[in-house]
């Protein structure tokens, strides 16, 4: 496998059939070490996002790209719900997950509250860890910030292996998260 393949999308509008060939090919050399595969995604993912203003669509592709490049158990976003003052499940790849996360409980809430990446080698040792899946053994959560520096979402990644996130993995994930943060304010959320 050399990358994410061409995606064909088809649909109907005003009674006319129309097709888009979305030729965004995100090259992933699966022979490279995992952290380098993630680093390889930074520029193509940014280019892909520059062509789309929907935040939902961009978060979905970011999750899919990192999931496809790594095979981690769960890769996705929780978005800050300002009205409810909690985190709500956003686009993700992997098993069904908890829909809301609350202050003071779990790894995602810690990343949100402290605006700091949380690397958890063993989730059973993290007080208050929220176990959406019993298969998750280690976890990393990165804050996504708007231009004002406020945490607007978190990028959560779970592994079924203990102690599965190297410093190089985290560095690459921070580079990917920086792309999401940089573009956040330009995105819309209505659809
Ligand atoms: N483990 C997270 C909850 C989200 S799931 O892992 C998808 C936490 O403790 O916040």
CA-CA distance, 106 to 128, in Å (whole number)?
5
Ligand 1 atom with minimal separation from the 130 CA? 9
138 in ligand 1 pocket by Cβ < 6 Å? no
Domains of the chain and any CATH numbers: 35-186 (3.30.450.40)
CA-CA distance, 69 to 36, in Å (whole number)?
10
Phi–psi pair at 9, nearest 5 degrees: -120, 135
157 in ligand 1 pocket by Cβ < 6 Å? no
CA-CA distance, 48 to 27, in Å (whole number)?
12
CA-CA distance, 78 to 91, in Å (whole number)?
8
Ligand 1 atom with minimal separation from the 74 CA? 7
Name residues whose C-beta falls within 8 Å of residue 114's C-beta, 6 or more positions apart in sequence: none
Q: What is the pTM of this model?
A: 0.88
Cα atoms found within 13 Å of the Cα of residue 53, Cβ hemisphere only: 5
Name residues whose C-beta falls within 8 Å of residue 117's C-beta, 6 or more positions apart in sequence: 111, 140, 141, 142, 143, 170, 174
Name residues whose C-beta falls within 8 Å of residue 127's C-beta, 6 or more positions apart in sequence: none
Instruction: Give 57 Cα–ligand 1 centroid separation in angstroms.
Output: 22
User: Which residue, judged by its Cα, is nearest atom 2 of ligand 1?
Assistant: 130
Tens-digit pLDDT string for the chain (191 aa): 334 443 333 333 433 333 333 335 677 888 999 999 999 999 999 999 999 999 999 999 999 999 999 999 999 999 999 999 999 999 999 999 999 999 999 999 999 999 999 999 999 999 999 999 999 999 999 999 999 999 999 999 999 999 999 999 999 999 999 999 999 999 999 86
Q: Nearest Cα to 95, choosing from 136, 59, 56?
A: 136
87 in ligand 1 pocket by Cβ < 6 Å? no
Strands 16-22 and 86-93: unpaired
118 in ligand 1 pocket by Cβ < 6 Å? no
- To test the pocket of ligand 1, the residue of 88, 131, 155, 159 to mutate (highest count of ligand atoms within 8 Å of its CB) is 131
């Amino acid at each position: 496998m050399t990358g994410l393949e061409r995606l064909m999308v088809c649909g109907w509008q005003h009674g006319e059939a129309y097709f888009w060939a979305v030729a965004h090919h995100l090259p992933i050399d699966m022979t490279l070490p995992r952290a380098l595969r993630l680093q390889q995604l930074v520029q193509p993912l940014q280019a892909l996002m520059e062509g789309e203003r929907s935040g939902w669509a961009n978060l979905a592709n970011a999750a899919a790209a990192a999931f496809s490049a790594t095979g981690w158990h769960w890769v996705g976003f929780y978005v800050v719900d300002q009205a409810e003052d909690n985190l709500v499940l956003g686009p993700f790849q992997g098993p069904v997950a908890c829909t809301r996360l609350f202050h003071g409980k779990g790894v995602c809430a810690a990343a949100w509250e402290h605006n700091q990446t949380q690397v958890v080698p063993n989730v059973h040792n993290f007080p208050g860890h929220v176990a959406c899946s019993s298969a998750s053994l280690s976890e990393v959560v990165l804050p996504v910030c708007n231009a004002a520096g406020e945490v607007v979402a978190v990028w959560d990644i779970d592994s079924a292996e203990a102690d599965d996130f190297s410093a190089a993995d985290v560095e690459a994930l921070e580079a990917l998260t920086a792309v999401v943060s940089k573009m956040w304010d330009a995105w819309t959320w209505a659809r």
